[in-house]
A and B are shown apart, each in its own frame.
Chain A
Amino acid sequence: MDEYIRKLLAAAQEAGISAAEVYLVSNDRFRAMCQQGVINNYTVNSTRGLSLRGLYNGKMGYAGTEAFDDESVQQLVSSVIESATLSEDDSVQEIYPGDKVYPTVDNYQPELDAVTPEAKLNYIREAEQKLLACDSRIAAATYNMISTSSGSVRIVNSYGLDLSMRDNGCVSYINALVKEDGHSASESAISVGRVFRPEEAERTAKEAAEKALFMLGAAPVESGIYRAIFDPYAMGDMLGVFSGIFSSENAQQNMSLLAGREGEKIASDVVNLVDDPLLEGGYESRAFDDEGVACRTTNVVENGVLKTLLYNLKTARKAGVQSTGSARKAGYAAPVRVAPSNFFFKPGTKNLDELMADMGEGLVITDVGGLHAGANPMSGDFSLIAEGYTVHNGVKDKPVEQITVAGNFYELLKAIRAVGSDLVFPGGGIGSPSVDVGEIRVSGK
């Protein structure tokens, strides 16, 4: 690849591109599922994708490819020029010469790459067996998957910057379908890490089974206003879908209602939100962002006050501040935007049991669904299908399903009464403990 990159940067310079950057992603992945003892969806890949970004007459152009022949060099260069020529984005953009120091982030565990396919297949076979053995009411493992990946990101630019980062990881997921007397329920459990742990097969199977069995016979509650706690999974999903409101790019484009509100109180005193790319073992941990800027920890909300939005080079320059190292591409060929890394509510002191005891009567929401449809990141409005359980006399009571919870995320931030101690990252960079959100509108029976 070194030779290809050298040729590409030379061709870009030759064609009048004043500064250029090559962004290369390589990935090897293994994925398999198991149902009724049969392995299916067995998928293995090794792929590479590359994009060229460059300044032409002061404007940024983009192009990408997965074919690495000589034809593609010319194609990339001419596409970048066409892209820059048509672009009307007159904000000042730059290819980054680099920072003096980069933090050390270790996202790569060589042992994981050595795990054999057979060991991974045994893992999902065992997960299914353990699940079915949990209880006679378990009908099936409807989704039982393991996936491992190992890859790298490399940024090379015409200023001589050459950064790279390796990363690997292992994810398993199992969904339990349970049936009894015409009722059915379906719940899942996930395991994410950089170490292959065979014992996780049994743990996730049991977790999914327990959750699903508990939900049997779940029913809607009466419509009305309820005191409510969102558990880490439900709150993590909410924070994930609304994380875009903390993007300076959305704010600068009138697409976040947090525009111009830095320094203001936007949430209750107990709310602290952190973006921490240096978090040890974090799913989204990284030493540099997608423009090559060194990453650092950012306190986004402190005691309810919005300290800063998240910035990349372009939006930071426009606002007259420093980049927070939050440049992000949705894929090798995607444009540079803004997104958080490991983004989470800083945990408080009480666990879920204590939060429930404090609440007395109400609901714990354990899952929200239909996020891409029922949550509007621009207005903050949400109306989401939800499930969970009732809390009576401060303890877990009856399972609840087929309800919707509705409200507005901006209002919810202000109404938060307590943030729990049980921080979980349910399968990505977004994390949350259980959160007491005060009152919420529920539509049910």
Chain B
Amino acid sequence: MLSQETAAAVLDAALRSGGDFAEIFLEDRRNNVLSMRSNRIETVNSNRLHGAGVRVYSGLSSVYVYTNDTSLKGLLDCAARAAAAISGPDLHKAAAFAASQCPNVHIIKELPSQADARKKAEKLKAANAILKMYPEVVQGIINYTDSEQRVWIANSEGMFKNDLRVYTRFVVNAVASNGTENQTGSCTPGAMQGFELFDRTVDPEMCAHTAARTAVTMLHAPLCPSGMMPVVIDNGFGGVIFHEACGHSLEATSVAPGNSEFSGKLGQKIASDRVTAIDDGTIPNAWGSENIDDEGNEPTKLVLIENGILKNYMIDRLNSRKMGMPVTGSGRRQGYMFAPTSRMRNTYIAAGNDSETEMIATMGDGLYCRKMGGGSVDPSTGKFNFSVQEGYLVKDGRIVHPVRGASLIGRGSEILMKIDRVGRDMQMAQGMCGSLSGSVPTNVGQPMIRVSSLTVGGAK
């Protein structure tokens, strides 16, 4: 809990040495994890994160100091340490706080802290019972996690806001084995919801089936061939390709210093005409949504690319100064241990008009990626790498058989131009995205898309 009096005193102390903007972020967060392995509930762990961070700007320089000691003395000490890193006369006084009520568009029905832990355990057991029906599945790792994050954000421009963010997620990993070889499959849904996640959105048994089927399918799959070929990537988690290969390069963190291959390209064509891409923080109860971002700014629905033309970057407060462009509600952080920076929220390629069956039928020989694994990218060059969790070989426009061990490599700018089909059914999937300001929940998404040619790294 942060009072306006405390916030005012801390902000004044932070600006004492010439800083021109100060902010305090205080967090109190309860995390719960229940984890099941080898048919047993193995870990039940709760943790209370508690701390605050003070940020001061002087021009384009920024200083961040954080602590667990949220007493007035601890916070003033924090502010003094931040001020000590800046030198100059005391020019500014913090503005009076405006009474700003933060609207809550993400309604929570059952706070996780109010839900009985035994009910959470039942969800794990339901998924585990399904995994046991698959004889080749030798191991299941099932996790339930929830989090209630209370934040208070105040700054020297008169902002004083607080918010509650509630997240619940259910993760099933299945390992199938034939004794000499193991393959994995996963299903990892979540939402900005409480325990009501299980009312409609998530069915633990369905999750277990999905994870087990992928693992078993891949266990019987031969190795994927390698080389350049057309690739169809299915909807949902397939969107990780856009997230990694393009999304990170549209974050101000890499655009502002000119380290992105998309720096200075607003208004230019960077993708094929079929591509419209959106970063949306406003979708009710979606995994990557927000009431306010971690700088207290209001959320936006941001068109990144419209019919192939670059329209917007994702911009946080500090980079907004550097770029001379407005913030986009994209300032995010894992918690008080990180200064915020520009991050993705719910980021997806919008639905197009192409038929899913046609795009496979006309692709010739290539790879159909039903489910992507994770990936990474170097934003300065756009080089990316993804693993394919569940892939199928396509011969002459027909899906022939599953293949394992495939990865996709290339450059973000290249793949965007080579998207020659965009399907109609857009779906999103949940992930945790790691970057400068820590690990934050993000949705990736897309309809089924086709890339005319891409390097497939296989083991054959």
Do they bind each other?
A: yes
Measuring CB to CB, which residues of chain A are less than 8 angstroms from any residue of chain B?
35-36, 38-49, 51, 61-68, 72, 75, 79, 82-84, 86-90, 117, 140, 142, 175, 177, 184-186, 223, 253-255, 257, 333-335, 369-370, 372-374, 376, 378-379, 381, 383-385, 401-404, 406-408, 441, 443
How many whole Å from B49's CB to the nearest CB in chain A?
5
The reply to whether B50 and A45 contact each other, CB–CB distance below 8 Å, is: no
Inter-chain CB contacts under 8 Å: number: 221
| CB atoms of B257 and A35 under 8 A apart | yes
A177 touching B66 by the CB < 8 A rule? no
* Chain A positions within 8 Å of B380 at CB level: 142, 175, 177, 184, 186
Contact B339 A41 (CB under 8 A): yes
- Can you name 13 A-B pairs with beta carbons within 8 Å? A65-B48, A65-B50, A67-B28, A67-B50, A82-B46, A83-B43, A83-B46, A253-B37, A253-B139, A257-B182, A333-B47, A378-B184, A383-B457
B65: chain A residues within 8 A (beta carbon): 43-45
Q: Closest Cβ of chain B: how far from A256's Cβ, in Å?
A: 9
Are A86 and B46 touching (Cβ within 8 A)? no
Asked if B175 contacts A45 (CB within 8 A), the reply is no
A79 touches which of B41, B46, B375, B407 (Cβ 8 Å): B46
Which residues of B are found within 8 Å of A376, using beta-carbon distances? Answer: 182-184, 387
Question: Which of the residues B40, B42, B181 comes within 8 Å of A379, measured between beta carbons?
Answer: B181
Q: Which residues of chain A are within 8 angstroms of B226 by Cβ–Cβ distance?
A: 223, 404, 406, 441, 443
Task: Check B42–A89 contact: CB distance below 8 A.
Answer: yes
**Closest residue of B by beta carbon distance from A60:** B43
CB pair A140 B459 closer than 8 Å? no
* Bound CA span A175–B257, Å: 14
Closest residue on chain A to residue B372 by CB atoms = A373
Contact of B376 with A372 in the complex, beta carbons under 8 Å: yes
Known contacts: A38-B61, A47-B67. The answer to whether A254 contacts B42 by CB under 8 A is: no
| Chain A residues whose CB sits within 8 angstroms of the CB of B374 once the complex forms | 372-373
Verify if B200 is at the interface (C-beta below 8 Å from A): no
Looking at the assembled complex, report how far the CB atom of A249 sits from the nearest CB atom of chain B, in whole angstroms: 10
Chain B residues positioned under 8 Å from A67 (CB to CB) = 28, 48, 50, 68, 70
Q: What 13 new A-B contacts, CB under 8 Å, besides A44-B64, A48-B68, A379-B184? A: A35-B257, A40-B62, A41-B436, A65-B50, A66-B51, A83-B45, A89-B43, A254-B38, A369-B383, A378-B183, A379-B182, A383-B405, A406-B458
User: A43-B339, A381-B459 given as contacts; is B44 within 8 A of A370 (CB)?
Assistant: no
A384 / chain B contacts, CB cutoff of 8 Å: 385, 407, 457
Given the complex of chains A and B, what is the CA–CA distance between A90 and B318 in angstroms?
52
State whether A370 and B376 are in contact (beta carbons under 8 Å apart), knowing that A42-B62, A66-B49, A223-B227 are contacts in the complex.
Answer: yes
Instruction: Give the distance to chain A from B82, nearest Cβ to Cβ, in Å.
Output: 8
Contact between chains at B44 and A83 (CB < 8 Å)? yes
Is the beta-carbon distance between A370 and B386 smaller than 8 angstroms? yes
In the complex, residue of chain A having the shortest beta-carbon distance to the beta carbon of B34: A86
User: Beta-carbon contacts of B369-385 to A below 8 Å, as 1s and 0s?
Assistant: 00001111010110101
Partner of B42, one of A75, A88, A257: A88
Asked whether, in the complex, the Cβ of A66 is within 8 Å of the Cβ of B68, the reply is yes
By Cβ-Cβ distance, the 10 closest A-B pairs, closest first, are A404-B457, A370-B385, A443-B226, A373-B374, A385-B385, A88-B40, A67-B50, A83-B44, A373-B387, A378-B182
The answer to whether A406 touches B67, judged by C-beta atoms less than 8 angstroms apart, is no
CB-CB under 8 A from A51, the residues of chain B are 47
A359 to B45 Cα, complex, angstroms: 52
Number of interface residues of B (CB under 8 A): 74
Q: Inside 8 A of A40's CB, which chain B residues have their CB?
A: 60-62, 318
Q: Let me know if A385 and B68 touch, CB within 8 A.
A: no
Contact digits for B342-384, partner A, Cβ 8 Å, 1 yes 0 no:
0000000000000000000000000000000111101011010
The residue in chain B whose Cβ has the minimal distance to the Cβ of A336 is: B43
Q: Are A45 and B67 in contact, CB atoms less than 8 angstroms apart?
A: yes
Q: Which residues of B contact A335 (CB under 8 A)?
A: 43, 45
Query: Chain B contacts of A253 at CB under 8 A?
Result: 37-38, 139
Given A90-B40, A254-B175, the answer on whether A42 and B259 have CB atoms closer than 8 Å is no
Asked whether any CB of chain A lies closer than 8 Å to the CB of B455, the reply is yes
Whether a CB of chain A sits under 8 angstroms from the CB of B85 is yes
From B44, B60, B383, contact of A61 by CB (8 A): B44
Q: Judging by beta carbons under 8 Å apart, are B376 and A89 in contact? A: no
Of B37, B181, B337, B407, which one neighbours A404 at CB under 8 angstroms?
B407
Give B29's nearest chain A residue, CB to CB: A66
Q: Which residues of B contact A175 (CB under 8 A)?
A: 380
Query: What is the CA–CA distance of A101 and B117 in the complex, to the nearest angstrom?
Result: 41
Contact B51 A370 (CB under 8 A): no
Shortest B41–chain A CB gap in Å is 4
Q: Is there contact, CB below 8 Å, between A42 and B61?
A: yes
Residues of A within 8 A of B50 (CB): 65-67
The CB with the most chain A CB atoms within 10 A, among B66, B374, B459, is that of B459
Kindly provide the distance from the CB of B215 to the nearest chain A CB, expressed in whole angstroms: 10
Cα–Cα, bound, A82→B61 (Å): 47
Taking the nearest CB of chain B, how far is it from the CB of A15, in angstroms? Answer: 16
Distance between A112 CB and nearest chain B CB, rounded to angstroms? 19
Which residues of chain A are within 8 angstroms of B117 by Cβ–Cβ distance? 82, 86
CB distance from B162 to the nearest CB of A (A): 17
In residues 138-181 of chain B, which contact A (Cβ within 8 Å)?
138-139, 175, 177, 180-181
The 8 Å CB contact of A373, one of B227, B385, B459, is B385
- Nearest CB in chain B: distance from A283 CB, A: 21
Closest to A40 in B: B62
Given contact pairs A223-B226, A383-B458, A47 touches B376 in the complex (Cβ within 8 A): no
Does B426 touch A at the CB level, under 8 Å? no
Contact between B175 and A402, CB atoms less than 8 A apart: no
A117 smallest CB distance to B (angstroms): 7
Complex Cα spacing A64 to B227, Å? 49
Question: A82, B44: Cβ atoms under 8 Å?
Answer: yes
Judged by a CB distance under 8 angstroms, whether B109 is at the interface is no
Does B456 count as interface, using CB distance less than 8 angstroms?
Answer: yes
Q: Please, which residues of chain B bring their CB within 8 A of the CB of A255?
A: 139, 175, 182
Q: How far is the CB of A17 from chain B (nearest CB, A)?
A: 15
* B407 to A, closest residue via Cβ: A383
Complexed CA–CA distance, A63 and B62 (Å): 35
Determine whether the beta carbon of B337 is less than 8 Å from that of A373: no
B213 at the interface (CB under 8 A from A): no
- Are the CB atoms of B48 and A140 closer together than 8 Å? no
When the two chains form their complex, are residues A142 and B385 in contact, meaning their CB atoms are under 8 A apart?
Answer: no
Does residue B406 face the partner (Cβ distance < 8 Å to A)? yes
